[in-house]
Amino acid sequence: MTLNDIPALNAALNALATLLIATGYVFIRTGNKTAHRAAMFSAGVVSAVFLVGYLTHKVLKGMAAGAGEAVHTQFGGEGPIRVVYYVMLITHVLLAMAIAYLVPRTFALAFSGQFERHKKWARVVFPIWLYVSVTGVLVYFFLYQWWPAAS
């Protein structure tokens, strides 16, 4: 595995988290609390592994670039798609920062047996977490597959 393989792995982890989050939602809507708990816990673990991979990629990319060089990936799209990408990216980043607190807090409420509070939090956190997971995959495709910057 090379440094260039990490973004695809991270996108796959985000896609898996998306599936687990959606599956967990279906389970709770159908009353299957045990399967809901397993799916959401798995989504949390997958998201945590993603975060480690994402941060590792940023650190290693920064080390490879050297002092004073940019470590972000350039977007190669032009015109209206550039606006679409940056609006998506900005909302993704801001909400991802919120999710870093919101998801563990929502989990803590469930783990401590505060199910009514957990339910109230989850109604807000679920769509945000789902959005962050989906847009994480889209950011990968926008940057690395559909509109990569010219080398």
What pLDDT, in 10s, does the model give residues 128-138? 999 999 999 99
CA 54 – CA 2 distance, rounded (Å): 14
> 1: which 2 tokens?
């595995």
Using the Cα atoms of residue 79, residue 85, residue 88 and residue 93 in order, give the sign of their dihedral.
negative
The model's pLDDT over 101-121, given as tens digits with 9 standing for 90+, comes to: 999 999 999 999 999 999 999
Question: Taking Cα atoms as reference points, which of 101, 132, 98, 123 lies closest to residue 115?
Answer: 123
Q: Which domains does the chain have, with CATH numbers?
A: 3-146 (1.20.120.80)
Residue 67's pLDDT is 56
pTM: 0.89
Express each pLDDT in 34-62 by its tens digit. 999 999 999 999 999 999 999 998 888 87
Band (pLDDT 50/70/90 cuts) for residue 70 is: low
Confidence of residue 3 (pLDDT cuts 50, 70, 90): confident
What pLDDT does 96 receive?
Answer: 96
Mean pLDDT score, 21-41: 97
Model confidence band, residue 65 (pLDDT cutoffs 50, 70, 90): low
Report the pLDDT value the prediction gives residue 14, as an integer from 0 to 100.
96
**pLDDT for res 134:** 97
Q: What is the pLDDT of the chain when averaged over all its residues?
A: 93
Q: What is the dihedral of CA 48, 95, 102, 13, to 10 degrees?
A: -20
Residue 118: the pLDDT is 97
